Amino acid sequence: MISVEEAQARILAAFKPTGTEVMDLAHLAGRVLAADVKAPSDQPPFPVSAMDGYAVRRSDGETPRKVIGSAPAGHPFKGAVGPGETVRIFTGGVIPKGADAIVIQEEVDIVGGDVQFNASALRPDFIRTAGLDFKAGDVLVPAGKRITPRDMALLAAGDITEAKVRRQPRVAIASIGDELSAPGSPRQPGGIAASTGYGLSAMISMWGGAPCDFGILPDTAQEIATVADADAELVVTLGGVSVGDHDLVQKALGTADFELDFWKVAMRPGKPLIFGRLGTTPILGMPGNPVSALVCAILFLRPAIDALLGIESSASGAPQRFQYGCRPITARLRHDLPANDGRQTYIRARLIHEGGDVWAEPFELQDSSMLSVLAKADALVVRVPNAPPADTGDRTDIIPLDGY
């Protein structure tokens, strides 16, 4: 068996970013940029008022000012502010020529139609200078970043109408097993509903990939070998990868130009993991137990999709720029844990916020078939190989499951 870190490194080494396509602004959310997006102009493009009030000249001091016009947002005053004059201005209004300060409306008195105020009310800092937010040529969103809703607003503010993004990597999924049937379909004796593919498809979509479900394949080498025909950047099989008489993936793929990179990872859950190539297409063979498969997806499939999208992955050991990925953070243990054996272990746990800290409370039952426990969990507690016993209150690495 190889370590989790070595398995991640071997998988990451197999992928390069996909090609690119240009998408319009309305469809950029969640996509990953293939090139920096730079501002074509300053924002704001001209000085504007940050408050409702009066645009004035500081050099006039406290002298009363005659109101000569107004400057609502979108309707600039066409003249200039001269000595003893002021323009009524509103938030977002363009600063008139000659004005270099704002007096907010709460700090003025109107006497005989003139505006009066103390010198202390003069506020040049209430003027938003041209380019205060960003300047022409500034990078608004860098290449390799997944576009967030906040980025969407920023791109729109920069008058961006389209951007070059990575093409969504195609990921083919094949569930293997005579015991499986689609939810809602009649079950044969001893059969179960196929579940993992649905969770995996949702994960792939959330991570920026394009899932393609091959459906359920029976336990025959001939049927399993059909995954070699997938038009995808990555093929994922579910089940059929351990050492039983009916675990046929390696045998089936051996007839389809399959080159094995590794088999078995020193981890729990998820030991029987296969990685290799079908011709030029990488294939990731995941365990049949649903929790094992979904944990493996977090640890190995997400970094692979990140690599295909040109996102720097935490699994590579490189500095994390844009997201946690599967990079652990820490919490305090809610109760004791025994010493660990030689396999890296991922324990489902709920998170509790208490006393200004985050506590991880592992569930009592950790069977790899129990999706109900995974669905309730907020995090995976990470126990490194041969870790000594851990006491209540000890700090421990966790992988948050928000977004999974």
pLDDT single digits (tens) 12-64: 999 999 999 999 999 999 999 999 999 999 999 999 999 999 999 999 999 99
Query: Which amino acid makes up residue 295?
Result: V
Structurally, at CATH architecture level, domain 329-400 sits in Beta Barrel (2.40)
Per-residue tens of pLDDT for the chain, all 404 residues:
999 999 999 999 999 999 999 999 999 999 999 999 999 999 999 999 999 999 999 999 999 999 999 999 999 999 999 999 999 999 999 999 999 999 999 999 999 999 999 989 999 999 999 999 999 999 999 999 999 999 999 999 999 999 999 999 999 999 988 888 999 999 888 899 999 999 999 999 999 999 999 888 887 777 777 887 889 999 999 987 665 554 556 666 766 678 889 989 999 999 889 999 888 889 999 998 999 999 999 999 999 999 999 997 544 333 343 333 456 689 999 999 999 999 999 999 999 999 899 999 999 999 998 999 999 999 999 999 999 999 999 999 999 998 66
H helix or E strand, kind and range, residue 371 = helix 371-376
CB 122 within 8 A of CB 101: yes
Look at the pTM and tell me if it is higher than 0.75: yes
pLDDT of residue 197: 94
Fold held by 20-41+136-166: Molybdopterin biosynthesis moea protein, domain 2 (3.90.105)
Structurally, at CATH architecture level, domain 48-128 sits in Beta Complex (2.170)
Checking DSSP bridges between strand 258-263 and strand 37-38, what pairing results, if any?
unpaired
Q: How far apart are CA 145 and CA 323, in angstroms?
A: 9
Q: Is the peptide bond before 40 cis (omega within 30 degrees of 0)?
A: no
Q: How far apart are CA 72 and CA 95, in angstroms?
A: 10
| Contact partners, residue 16, CB within 8 Å, separation at least 6 | 307, 308
Q: Is the peptide bond before 183 cis (omega within 30 degrees of 0)?
A: no
Q: How far apart are CA 227 and CA 247, in angstroms?
A: 16
Alpha helices in 98-193 (DSSP H): 149-157
Helix, strand, coil shares of the chain, percent, nearest 5, are 20, 35, 45
Q: Token digits for 92?
A: 């977002």
The CATH number of 4-16+168-316 is 3.40.980.10
pLDDT of residue 313: 54
Report domain extents, the chain.
Answer: 4-16+168-316, 20-41+136-166, 48-128, 329-400
Q: How far apart are CA 268 and CA 340, in angstroms?
A: 11
CB 319 within 8 A of CB 312: yes
Tell me phi and psi for residue 370, to 5 degrees.
-95, 90
